[in-house]
Amino acid sequence: MVINEYIDPEFKRLLDITDEIEVDNKKTGQTVFKSLWNRTEPWFEKPNFRRGASKESWSGVTKTQLNKHNFFLKKQQDYFAYSIKPPFKRMLLQREFENIKLFNSCKIPSLDIVYFGIRKSGHHTQAILITKSLDNYISLVEAKKQYLDLHGSEHRKIKKTVIKSIAELVKKMHLSGLMHNYLYLKHIYIDKDFCKTGEKLSQEPVCRFIDLDGARKAPYNSTKQLRDLETLNRSHIHSPTLGLNEKIYFLLKYLNKTNCDKDVRKLIKRISKISK
């Protein structure tokens, strides 16, 4: 029995076009969920099994195509997130679904949701989250390898433009009273064309955040939010393309400063203190 479901109108029309799933007044959400759950594409990432939990508790991702459109389809079974505050137990995909909606409502680009559903199947709880594939984006890890390690004044300029865009987006997230909580390079996606030119060539956002299942609300400039900056800083430790100058440049743009004044030095000390 489907107990919670969201279908984006555009995706619903796409389902109708492909005839892979019937969506009309005679069909229930059970038909949609079941058809999506039974898709058999190979795993894009190997399924995760909860440590210490039953082998029936798992989470996996596939990449699927409908009418030549690419999507990522996440499936989870009995994969719960627990909290000391209500709701004390819920599917991790539900938390990610809610966080993506929250980020988008704050105009912080993340993923585009087209489908979300939860159903009870026997004694199991199952969840599906489908998002549009970010085909014209690459992670910051990939961007570093393909573009940001190039030399020359023009490439250094593009590198600074990319860093500035990321810093401004992180600042916007924090000013909105939010934190990513797992802000690694692989969770920041950059428009491919922007990485090559340093110019915005489409109406799509330049940067996006992914993997928001751990995102949460946090007061601006709090120690909790600073953990985002510490995580991002730590993930650069082994990066030959983002040295000390680039890290300081990121903090300058994050604080909207032009020089390394006392505010910047204070922030560096606070980040260093968290790292210890």
- Full pLDDT tens readout for the chain, 276 residues: 888 889 998 887 776 645 444 444 444 445 788 889 998 899 998 888 877 666 789 999 999 988 888 999 999 999 998 887 777 788 999 999 999 999 999 999 999 999 999 999 889 999 999 999 999 999 988 887 766 556 677 778 888 899 999 999 999 999 999 999 999 999 999 999 898 888 888 889 999 999 999 999 999 999 999 999 999 888 765 455 567 788 899 999 999 999 999 999 999 999 988 876
Under CATH, which number does the domain 137-275 receive? 1.10.510.10
In the prediction, which pLDDT does 30 show?
58
* Residue 227: Cβ-neighbour burial (10 angstroms; 0-12, 13-18, 19+): buried
Nearest CA to 63 out of 45, 77, 48, 76 is that of 45
Hey, what are 1's tokens?
């029995």
Nearest CA to 103 out of 167, 169, 9 is that of 169
Q: Is the dihedral of CA 84, 92, 231, 164 positive or negative?
A: negative
Helix (H) or strand (E) holding 6: strand 2-7
* Residue 124: Cβ-neighbour burial (10 angstroms; 0-12, 13-18, 19+): exposed
Nearest CA to 62 out of 48, 51, 46 is that of 46
Q: What global pTM score does this model have?
A: 0.88
The residue ranges of every structural domain in the chain are: 2-132, 137-275
228 neighbors 189 (Cβ within 8 angstroms): no
Digit-coded pLDDT (tens) for 83-110: 877 777 889 999 999 999 999 999 999 9
% the chain with pLDDT above 90: 54
In the prediction, which pLDDT does 50 show?
77
44 neighbors 72 (Cβ within 8 angstroms): yes
Nearest CA to 127 out of 80, 187, 72 is that of 80
Name residue 192's amino acid.
K
In the prediction, which pLDDT does 26 show?
45
Name residue 233's amino acid.
N
Digit-coded pLDDT (tens) for 144-179: 776 655 667 777 888 889 999 999 999 999 999 999
Digit-coded pLDDT (tens) for 13-29: 776 645 444 444 444 44
**Rounded Cα distance, 155 and 6, in Å:** 43
Side-chain-side CA neighbours of residue 260 (13 Å): 11
Instruction: Give the DSSP letter string of 196-257.
Output: HHSS--SSS-SEEE---TT-EE--TT-HHHHHHHHHHHHTTTT-SSS-HHHHHHHHHHHTT-
